[in-house]
A = this chain, B = another copy of it.
């Protein structure tokens, strides 16, 4: 049985939705969970609804790092912060993986501080899922993008390792046997993008274990051309937030427009089932979270706005990652290409 440490105090709706998600998971699975945070609050929230006490324990700690807090300062000042305690539990073998919906920077830094990098890995990467079109039957409706902010700039070897890590993760978690991996670039030709990207392209192409489909451009991101898209953190971060931002702006503009015009209002109403189906397709809650890859231990970062179902799914993803031995598989693949 995998044991998952859950940061009860991290997230826009913590601790309420985190505890509720854990309670739900305890009724639907056999995953062992440790809620890390203010034990009084946690116990009161647990007692408010049904849960399986055999699968849930609580580890008290007194502090938490806020969503807008400076991650480095926060971790330095609050040794007893829930996210740091959860990471230390995993590092000490008291849990097999961790889940947090809290401050992303603090999550990455806590993992970096307490987890060991897989042998040979130069940098860890934060992945994220994003909704996109599908191109073939059975293709996942989400793509995986990494890195989205654990790094800033990367060299060719680091990018190549991201390709290996993202491919291993997508193969296990999304059940696509041979996920297509693309390198985000400013042109499709292998000569594009400058020295680092040309070299990364060459290295990825030579990997027997990776189904490399070449460079993907900005207009390929939403099409399903690649299942795993590799980029340095600065680029991946801007792309991920742009996708989220365009969705929000489109919703705002459409809603405002509809208020002024009865035909549009009626049209939006007729489309409402379609719109909610699209929203559902693009809803990060169905995915739960995305991993920080490259460490020996797994950390699943759930979205800050996660409610109980997202937390429940993030816990399941973490347990699956442990059962499917994602980190050991990454280690083995990297050892082969060295």
Q: Which residues on A are within 8 Å of B, measured CB to CB?
A: 132-133, 149, 152-153, 184-186, 193-194, 197, 217-223, 233-235, 237-246, 248-250, 252-254, 257-258, 261, 263-264, 266-271, 273-274, 277-278
Contacts and interface: CB of A to CB of B under 8 A. Distances in A.
Given A186-B237, A220-B245, 4 more contacts: A194-B234, A222-B245, A263-B271, A266-B267
B253 A264 contact: no
B239 A219 contact: no
B234 A219 contact: no
B270 A274 contact: no
Tell me whether chain A's interface is mostly helix, strand or loop, or mixed.
helix
Nearest to A149: B186
A238 B278 contact: no
28 contacts: A133-B249, A152-B186, A185-B234, A194-B234, A217-B241, A218-B237, A218-B240, A218-B242, A218-B244, A218-B245, A219-B241, A219-B245, A221-B242, A223-B249, A235-B235, A239-B239, A239-B242, A242-B243, A253-B278, A254-B274, A257-B277, A258-B274, A263-B270, A264-B270, A264-B273, A264-B274, A266-B267, A271-B271
A223 B250 CA distance: 10
A245 B274 contact: no
Contacts of A234: 185-186, 193-194, 197, 235
